[in-house]
A and B are shown apart, each in its own frame.
Chain A
């Protein structure tokens, strides 16, 4: 349908005429504070009558204007020039009518029409999707607030810019919207954490920062596939991953890593990792099941009805266990972050080693994680970042559509600083035509309410697509027409 015709039909249907009302009750003694902008002032009298005044003014101990007076059953008593004493009034009421925000939101979308690549046709749930992506020196370094797929899930995300060279005083970060999504970005900051020579700084749970010295990759790494030490020896894009279980997407696997000489002092394990497309597939599958009901179902979630549940807890993160002096495995922590695009570097503190060599187990859902690097670090204490605002920040929130780019320039103080990107916002996924054929709202509810069962039921479908998903995903990235 041509855009002009669409707009004409919308206007005829009165879609642009949808309003919202803001009502306030004001005590008579606070009449002076009333904004005289509202077209009507209602005066609720103590005996139950009500005056509706337009073109009104307050005069000392009373109010006068032009309007109507009604009895307790709202029958008209008087009309025209009216006046009332303040001591007869129980409450004043003001009403301001404005265009519904929803209209503005839909107005932005009117006329949008996009081309979908052939890859999405063949593998709809591999259609490229992402939160905002951040590039430094042309390399993808971070993805922001990947879990924030609803306004109520808006969150602050901190990502390590591990590979960005330190020592420069100007850092340019290019933020892009490369997916069929609307991104709402509250802010983008650079966190610069000073450290001594020979040290690095690591982000850990709760976005705390620890200084430390890297002690190197594991001397041994064993997984179900065999030796994994080579893939995890450096943060170089060579990743270790696995395939999902064909009958239960939550099935676990374990890697066992070892450091022959871990050294003294508090230690932490450093992990560079990102998720596979399994989490993306599940999210898109849920949207597909919601189908045409997706908007109203997600609005219900927004209203707080379903904050608990979902498949993310069932899939879990990367659990870290350390072997103690008696050969038992002690849980040290868990690393969990959504996002399949950019590897992030995180540190999980370990309990003081009770034996040599130091043995660590990483337990995670099969097929969910891509590990690029593991290292041991000797920790030297908490660090505190400098929060840097960008030069000429854009208006907040910044709303971006597919193809949009924004450059954030930061001035960094002299001296060695570890850099992190701090971003806050949320994003809205755009439904794809191809998803609608799977509409089944009750299955969407079950995915959220009974995730363990859902992860078993969905395993065969995911396995059928798993091999080709990566190629389809990256090939369907949005590009300007």
Chain B
């Protein structure tokens, strides 16, 4: 990430932790992802400023396949600017809630000169934010991201792409 992009990201981080872009409740929890048979959620940004989002189906030698709005879309790897694949819901929000509770628990009590000191915000916030990135792959190469594809082995040969259906 270039330094300039980093400053922008830092400025935007006030919105909270990482967001996958997946529809609500679409991603499984980690414990459920162990038995999940659909792919993760991919958000792909193209060099021509186009954007595609949907279930990651497969990664081939020179293409990435995404099931976008019920249709299988093949994207040439060379035309992709950057992408993000999320394999499961990290439930970082629970840790954020825990952090907030921890901070609330340190409200001062007693006399003015004695304040309870929060221990949570820097460590708890960092923990929640780091957890939010669990199961995410910022795609530099697709080798790592393919483990979250519906077909990690690649698109099966001879498959009728029009017959592929989205997750109900």
Q: A residues within 8 A CB of B135?
A: 20-21
Report the stretch among B43-51, B76-84, B112-120 that lies at the interface: B112-120
Task: Determine if B29 and A6 form an interchain contact, defined as CB atoms under 8 angstroms apart.
Answer: no
- Binary contact readout B1-39 vs A (1 if CB under 8 angstroms, 0 otherwise): 101011101110110110000000000011101110110
Q: A residues within 8 A CB of B99?
A: 106, 295
Please tell me if A329 contacts chain B, counting CB pairs below 8 Å.
Answer: no
CB distance from A360 to the nearest CB of B (A): 35
Mark B residues whose CB is within 8 Å of A: 1, 3, 5-7, 9-11, 13-14, 16-17, 29-31, 33-35, 37-38, 87-88, 90-92, 94-95, 97-99, 101-102, 104-108, 113-131, 133-135, 146-148, 150-154, 156-157, 159, 163-165, 167
CB distance from A461 to the nearest CB of B (A): 22
Q: A residues within 8 A CB of B101?
A: 1, 6, 9-10, 13
Task: Determine if B163 and A73 form an interchain contact, defined as CB atoms under 8 angstroms apart.
Answer: yes
CB distance from A19 to the nearest CB of B (A): 4
By Cβ-Cβ distance, the 9 closest A-B pairs, closest first, are A295-B125, A305-B6, A90-B153, A299-B129, A102-B127, A48-B156, A114-B117, A95-B34, A19-B30
Q: A residues within 8 A CB of B90?
A: 18, 20, 100
- Binary contact readout A56-86 vs B (1 if CB under 8 angstroms, 0 otherwise): 0000000000000010111000000000000
Q: Which residue of B lies closest to A104 (CB)?
A: B127
Q: List 7 A-B contacts (CB under 8 A).
A: A18-B94, A23-B33, A50-B37, A106-B98, A299-B130, A430-B118, A445-B7
Please tell me if A420 contacts chain B, counting CB pairs below 8 Å.
Answer: no
Most chain-A CB neighbours within 10 Å: which of B9, B30, B108, B157?
Answer: B30
Report the stretch among A38-46, A139-147, A193-201, A351-359 that lies at the interface: A38-46
Chain A's interface size range is: 35 or more
From known contacts A308-B3, A445-B7, infer whether A292 and B121 are also in contact, taking CB-CB under 8 Å. yes
Query: How far is it, in angstroms, between the C-alpha of A118 and the C-alpha of B97 when the chains are bound?
Result: 30
Task: Determine if A115 and B114 form an interchain contact, defined as CB atoms under 8 angstroms apart.
Answer: yes
Known: A105-B127, A298-B122. 6 other contacts (CB 8 A): A6-B102, A21-B30, A46-B156, A102-B92, A120-B115, A295-B122
Mark A residues whose CB is within 8 Å of B: 1, 3, 6, 9-10, 13-15, 17-21, 23-25, 38-40, 42, 44, 46-48, 50, 52, 70, 72-74, 90-91, 93, 95-97, 100-103, 105-106, 109-116, 118, 120-121, 180, 182, 287, 292-309, 428-433, 436, 441-442, 445, 448-449
Task: Determine if A297 and B10 form an interchain contact, defined as CB atoms under 8 angstroms apart.
Answer: yes
Most chain-B CB neighbours within 10 Å: which of A73, A114, A448?
Answer: A73
Q: Which residue of A lies closest to B146 (CB)?
A: A25
Q: A residues within 8 A CB of B107?
A: 1
Task: Determine if B126 and A299 form an interchain contact, defined as CB atoms under 8 angstroms apart.
Answer: yes
Query: How far is it, in angstroms, between the C-alpha of A97 and the C-alpha of B165 when the chains are bound?
Result: 28
Task: Determine if A100 and B125 form an interchain contact, defined as CB atoms under 8 angstroms apart.
Answer: no
Q: B residues within 8 A CB of A72?
A: 151, 156, 159, 163-164
Task: Determine if B17 and A296 form an interchain contact, defined as CB atoms under 8 angstroms apart.
Answer: yes
Q: Which residue of A lies closest to B150 (CB)?
A: A74
Task: Determine if A100 and B131 form an interchain contact, defined as CB atoms under 8 angstroms apart.
Answer: yes
Task: Determine if B122 and A429 form an interchain contact, defined as CB atoms under 8 angstroms apart.
Answer: yes
CB distance from B148 to the nearest CB of A (A): 8
Task: Determine if B117 and A293 form an interchain contact, defined as CB atoms under 8 angstroms apart.
Answer: no
